[in-house]
């Protein structure tokens, strides 16, 4: 059974992720393009640094070629945001990206990016999933599609320059350490930084299909070497991307990790106060409310969405959004594609450091001095499927009047169950769509309170 999650289909290589199943998904994509009148436009085919990803991409290309659809196939493994941008740049029908993003090395996946250059919505995803599990007869093509190999790097590098000030960055002469985590960001972000005059040192800058034995996720636990290298070289900042470079990770000059719940508010404040961006802001239900405090000061409208960048993308396509982000490390900004871009996120941090001429640790310190301390936490409760559903149903139907000794002021059920407490702290419980666990997110103005909330969450089992 091929089952699509929040961002495409992912499975273990040679178990469910086989060439036969890849062909089934590719046929479903071709069927979608033909039936919805997109088959006359080309399709971009990309892949990340994973084992056999290039061969799976070639297999997808063969299926689309036989269906009479023209394809642009990348020369080398390429970041997902670059492939998404190429849809817009080439006015393509869409893209097929072979990636499992930040998942462990044994996984691979397929992500379909429609013509609007963002994540496929639920309607498209449902259609692809249904047809991937059926025997489809594609209509006979009058002639094969054309296949052209291409390298998008230089065009993307030129494009992304419009979001930052290269001259300002050159003058700052920043020292930067970059960790692409053996993934597809290598040769992109480091190349851009070098072009802008940054003294750039890379760690894990080679392709490794095993990702050095770690998940290619830019979480603190996976960035120990980056933190050490920043301190060792007295660098101004450490930057990271996940396996397909749609997520970001940041380390300050002292070697402290700053998560998305810190970087998104920092960049939001920067874009509004110093870059002159106007519009609204979008965050997922699991993302920090520090964004709301900043929005309140600048009189910016806040949108809260379910988890998954496709929900953020939907709003970004309907109105001007200064920044849209989620706590898992994805963001995009006004004027860019409605898709996560970890390369741009990291570049904006560099642009901000060059403009403000202050250490990143001081920028964060000044932000919390203005808006108050914020501590975010997350834990995973491993539960069997029936118990997972039972826990969420119980919270939905028997919402507690208090939690961790504090009264519940408001309940939000747009994705899982989120309890807003009377002291403005909050906790969210939502089921994973792909694993037997319930994810718990929490936020507080004091570290001790956060620990108390998370301890209370463990008792939910």
Q: What is the pLDDT of residue 434?
A: 64
Q: Identify the pLDDT of residue 68.
A: 97
271 Cβ contact partners less than 8 Å away, ≥ 6 residues apart: 277, 322, 323, 333, 334, 348
Instruction: List CB contacts of 153: < 8 A, sequence separation 6 or more.
Output: 78, 82, 187, 188, 191
Per-residue pLDDT, 162:
97
Arithmetic mean of pLDDT, 3-21: 93
Please give the average per-residue pLDDT across 309-325, as a whole number.
Answer: 97
Beta partners for residue 98, in sequence order:
47, 110
Fold designation for 4-151: Alpha-D-Glucose-1,6-Bisphosphate; Chain A, domain 3 (3.40.120)
Give residue 386's pLDDT.
83
Among 20, 48, 19, 44, smallest CA distance to 33 is for 44
- pLDDT category at 212 given cuts 50, 70, 90 is very high
Model pLDDT, residue 385:
81
Q: Which is it for strands 302-305 and 280-284: parallel, antiparallel or unpaired?
A: parallel
Contact 113, 219 (CB under 8 A): no
Of the candidates 149, 145, 152, 147, the residue with the CA atom closest to the CA atom of residue 30 = 145
- What mean pLDDT comes out for the span 56-66? 98
Average pLDDT, the chain: 96
Which pLDDT tens digit goes with each residue over 251-283? 999 999 999 999 999 999 999 999 999 999 999
Percent of the chain with pLDDT over 70: 99
> Would the pTM of this model clear 0.75, i.e. be above it?
yes
Same fold, 4-151 and 157-371: yes
Q: Judge contact between 226 and 233, C-beta under 8 A.
A: no
Give the DSSP H/E element, type plus range, for residue 313: helix 309-316
pLDDT above 90: residue 436: no
Print the SS3 string covering 274-293.
CCCCCCEEEEECCCCCHHHH
Flag whether pLDDT at 37 surpasses 80: yes
**Residue percentage of the chain with pLDDT more than 90:** 92
Q: What is the residue extent of each domain of the chain?
A: 4-151, 157-371, 375-458
Residue 160 has pLDDT above 80, yes or no: yes
Q: Summarize the confidence of residues 31-51 as an average pLDDT.
A: 97
Mean pLDDT across the stretch 424-439? 87
> Does the structure show a pLDDT above 80 at 367?
yes
Q: How confident is the model at residue 389 (pLDDT cuts 50, 70, 90)?
A: confident
pLDDT in tens, 67-77: 999 999 999 99
The strand pairing partners of 68, in sequence order, are: none
What kind of fold does domain 375-458 have according to CATH? TATA-Binding Protein (3.30.310)
When pLDDT is averaged across residues 286-300 and rounded to a whole number, the result is 98
Per-residue pLDDT band at 302 (split at 50, 70, 90): very high
Q: Is the pLDDT of residue 433 over 90?
A: no
Mean predicted confidence (pLDDT) in 147-155: 98
**In this structure, which CATH number among 3.90.1150.10, 3.40.50.300, 3.40.50.720, 3.40.120.10 belongs to the domain 157-371?**
3.40.120.10
Contacts for 294 with CB less than 8 Å, ≥ 6 apart: 265, 268, 269, 272, 300, 371
Q: Does residue 137 carry a pLDDT above 90? A: no
Q: Which is it for the CA torsion 269, 158, 223, 338, positive or negative?
A: positive
**pLDDT tens-digit profile of 87-113?**
999 999 999 999 999 999 999 999 999
């Amino acid at each position: 059974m091929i089952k699509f999650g929040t961002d495409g289909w992912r499975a273990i290589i040679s178990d469910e992720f086989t060439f036969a199943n890849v062909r089934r998904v590719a046929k479903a994509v071709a069927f979608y393009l033909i039936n919805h009148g997109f088959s006359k436009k080309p399709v971009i085919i990309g892949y990340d640094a994973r084992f056999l990803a290039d061969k799976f991409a070639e297999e997808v290309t063969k299926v689309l070629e036989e269906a009479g659809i023209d394809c642009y196939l990348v020369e080398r493994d390429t970041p997902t945001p670059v492939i998404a941008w190429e849809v817009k740049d080439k006015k393509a029908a869409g893209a097929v990206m072979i990636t499992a993003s930040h998942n462990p090395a044994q996984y691979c996946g397929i992500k379909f990016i429609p013509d609007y250059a963002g994540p496929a919505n639920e309607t498209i995803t449902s259609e692809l999933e249904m047809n991937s599990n059926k025997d489809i007869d594609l209509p006979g093509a009058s002639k094969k599609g054309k296949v052209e190999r291409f390298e998008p790097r230089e065009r993307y590098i030129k494009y992304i320059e419009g979001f930052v000030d290269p001259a300002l960055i050159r003058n700052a002469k920043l020292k930067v350490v970059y960790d692409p985590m053996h993934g597809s960001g290598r040769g992109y972000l480091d190349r851009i930084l070098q072009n802008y005059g940054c003294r750039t040192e890379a760690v894990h800058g080679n392709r490794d299909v095993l990702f050095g034995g770690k998940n290619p996720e830019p979480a603190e636990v996976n960035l120990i070497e980056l933190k050490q290298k920043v301190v060792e070289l007295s660098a101004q900042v450490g930057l990271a991307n996940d396996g397909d470079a749609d997520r970001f990770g940041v380390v300050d000059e002292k070697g402290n990790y700053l998560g998305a719940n810190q970087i998104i508010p920092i960049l939001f404040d920067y874009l509004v106060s110093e870059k002159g961006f106007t519009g609204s802001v979008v965050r997922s239900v699991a993302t920090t409310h520090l964004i709301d405090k900043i929005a309140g000061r600048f009189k910016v409208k806040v949108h809260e969405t379910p988890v998954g960048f496709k929900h953020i993308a939907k709003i970004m396509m309907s109105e001007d959004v200064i920044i849209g982000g989620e706590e898992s490390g994805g963001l995009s900004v006004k004027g860019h594609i409605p898709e996560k871009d970890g390369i741009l996120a990291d570049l904006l941090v560099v642009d901000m450091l060059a403009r403000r001429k202050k250490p990143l640790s001081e920028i964060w310190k000044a932000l919390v001095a203005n808006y108050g301390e914020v501590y975010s936490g997350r834990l995973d409760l491993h539960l069997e499927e029936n118990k997972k559903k039972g826990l969420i149903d119980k919270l939905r139907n028997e919402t507690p009047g208090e939690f961790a000794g504090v009264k519940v002021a408001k309940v939000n059920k747009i994705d899982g169950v989120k309890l807003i407490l009377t002291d403005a702290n909050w906790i969210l419980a939502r089921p994973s769509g792909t694993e037997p666990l319930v994810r718990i997110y929490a936020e507080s103005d004091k570290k001790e309170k956060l620990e108390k909330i998370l301890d209370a969450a463990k008792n939910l089992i």
